[in-house]
């Protein structure tokens, strides 16, 4: 069986808003568990500050990303053939919620918490693919940029809200407060995802088709047969490699090179999130009018300026200005990239194509920090920031050849 989108009216605004809630929910996990609280809690409270703690944390994230990267396209094709994106999305959400809540249990040792982290992050990443795969079904071509922007912008608001909740819990102080963050974040994620799980409709309908080859082979054939998709994913992958390096090392760079305190770093994150909302929202309508290519190329031009500005900056004030530009570029690039993939996704292959989109993004998330870390070790943090801009040049060069439509 294979899914084929039945011709029916586009989703109403209520259903689109329900879809946007998943971005809001997702941001709680990546903001609190991965970016702000999880790493410090894992290395200090779970691992007791051991020398190998950072390596174990990074390895767990890399393993979970690799699992999601390799499984995503095949799982997406499986969901297409069985018209099962919605139940699969619900199942992955519940797995992520449960594993996140368990991470805070004091009875769990290092191995158990590491296992929970791998499971939660893999489920989160796979769910991110599947919810994006609904975008082609929510609106006709020419209207998806705006809807993707709504979701991504609302997601950044969710990140700020969940961060506020985590900081309120942490204000009590102590290891007990840190542990309470995880069940609280899990509850936040579950409640925020309820509108999506309850009201998002699966518009695909099954049609009969014989299956004569393994899913992985069919995915490979899709990549070979679609040069437009291949070029778009390569360009986005290169761009997101540079972006993932910035996200992974922003707080380290701000602390070592600019002299930020922890409080300054929290403010920096708020600036990034707030301006990313603006970056996502202002580019959606533009993309619907002019197409994806000029929007993506403009975003990459902005990122080149961010790379140069971060290298040049020596003061807190100038670095906050660079962070504001980076936030604009982050929302701009991520929202536009998702909508661009939606525009060239064939009917009945939503899960598969967005699994490939996830493959490109997860691979970028692995390569970017590794490449930046190697650069920093070789030439220093400040010069590495400048050289990281090459990824944005490479992405623009590849995307320049994408059909302007």
Determine the number of helices (DSSP H) and then strands (DSSP E) in the chain. 16, 2
Structure tokens at 152: 């991504």
- Cβ atoms of residues 42 and 53 within 8 Å: yes
pLDDT at 3: 45
pLDDT along the chain (405 residues), means of 10: 50 92 94 84 87 86 91 92 93 97 93 96 95 90 88 92 91 81 96 96 66 73 84 92 84 81 79 89 83 87 92 89 90 89 84 91 88 84 89 92 65
pLDDT at 57: 86
Which of 167, 200, 233 is where one domain is finished?
Answer: 200
Same domain, 131 and 186: yes
pLDDT at 289: 84
Same domain, 26 and 147: yes
- Looking at the domain assignment, is residue 252 inside a domain? yes
Same domain, 267 and 401: yes
Which of 146, 166, 200 is where one domain is finished?
Answer: 200
pLDDT at 9: 61
pLDDT at 88: 96
pLDDT at 212: 62
Nearest to 130 by CA among 79, 70, 194, 204: 79
- Looking at the domain assignment, is residue 217 inside a domain? no
Burial of 70 (0-12, 13-18, 19+ CB in 10 A): middle
Longest dimension (CA), the chain: 63
Q: Which domain holds residue 369?
A: 225-405
- Looking at the domain assignment, is residue 211 inside a domain? no
Same domain, 320 and 189: no
Same domain, 133 and 265: no
Same domain, 44 and 90: yes
Same domain, 261 and 157: no
- Looking at the domain assignment, is residue 259 inside a domain? yes
Q: What are phi and psi of 314, to 5 degrees?
A: -130, -5
Same domain, 248 and 136: no
DSSP structure class, residue 380: -
Same domain, 241 and 103: no
- Looking at the domain assignment, is residue 269 inside a domain? yes
- Cβ atoms of residues 46 and 110 within 8 Å: yes
pLDDT at 2: 44
Same domain, 189 and 234: no
Q: Which residues contact 393 (CB under 8 A, 6 or more apart)?
A: 300, 304
Same domain, 190 and 234: no
Residue 287: which CATH number?
Answer: 1.20.1250.20
- Per the structure, the count of domains in the chain is 2
Structure tokens at 400: 């320049």
> Would the CA dihedral through 159, 164, 169, 173 be positive or negative?
positive
Same domain, 13 and 80: yes
């Amino acid at each position: 069986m294979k899914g084929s989108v039945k011709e029916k009216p586009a989703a109403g605004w209520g259903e689109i808003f329900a879809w946007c809630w998943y971005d809001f929910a997702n941001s709680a996990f990546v903001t609190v568990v991965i970016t702000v609280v999880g790493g410090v809690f894992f290395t200090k409270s779970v691992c007791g500050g051991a020398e190998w703690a950072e390596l174990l944390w990074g390895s767990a994230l890399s393993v979970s990303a690799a699992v999601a990267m390799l499984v995503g396209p095949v799982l997406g094709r499986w969901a297409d053939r069985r018209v099962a994106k919605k139940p699969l999305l619900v199942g992955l959400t519940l797995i992520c919620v449960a594993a996140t809540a368990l991470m805070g249990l004091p009875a769990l040792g290092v191995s158990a918490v590491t296992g929970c982290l791998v499971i939660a992050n893999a489920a989160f990443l796979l769910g991110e693919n599947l919810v994006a795969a609904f975008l082609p079904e929510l609106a006709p071509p020419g209207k998806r940029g705006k809807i993707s922007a709504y979701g991504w912008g609302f997601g950044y608001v969710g990140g700020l809200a969940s961060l506020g909740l985590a900081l309120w819990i942490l204000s009590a102080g102590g290891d007990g407060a840190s542990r309470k963050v995880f069940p609280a974040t899990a509850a936040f994620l579950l409640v925020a995802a309820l509108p999506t799980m309850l009201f998002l409709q699966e518009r695909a309908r099954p049609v009969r088709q014989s299956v004569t080859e393994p899913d992985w082979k069919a995915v490979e054939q899709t990549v070979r047969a679609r040069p437009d998709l291949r070029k778009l994913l390569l360009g986005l992958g290169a761009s997101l490699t540079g972006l993932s390096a910035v996200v992974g090392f922003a707080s380290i760079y701000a602390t070592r090179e600019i002299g930020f305190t922890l409080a300054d770093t929290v403010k920096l994150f708020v600036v990034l999130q707030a301006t990313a909302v603006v970056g996502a929202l202002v580019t959606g309508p533009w993309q619907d009018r002019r197409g994806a290519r000029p929007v993506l190329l403009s975003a990459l031009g902005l990122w080149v300026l961010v790379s140069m500005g971060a290298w040049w900056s020596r003061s807190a004030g100038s670095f906050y200005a660079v962070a504001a530009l980076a936030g604009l570029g982050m929302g701009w690039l991520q929202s536009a990239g998702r909508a661009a993939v939606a525009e060239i996704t064939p009917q009945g292959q939503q899960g598969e194509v967005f699994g490939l989109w996830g493959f490109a993004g997860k691979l970028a998330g692995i390569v970017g920090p590794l490449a930046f870390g190697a650069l920093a070790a070789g030439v220093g943090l400040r010069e590495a920031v400048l050289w990281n801009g090459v990824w944005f040049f490479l992405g623009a060069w590849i995307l320049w050849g994408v059909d302007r439509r």
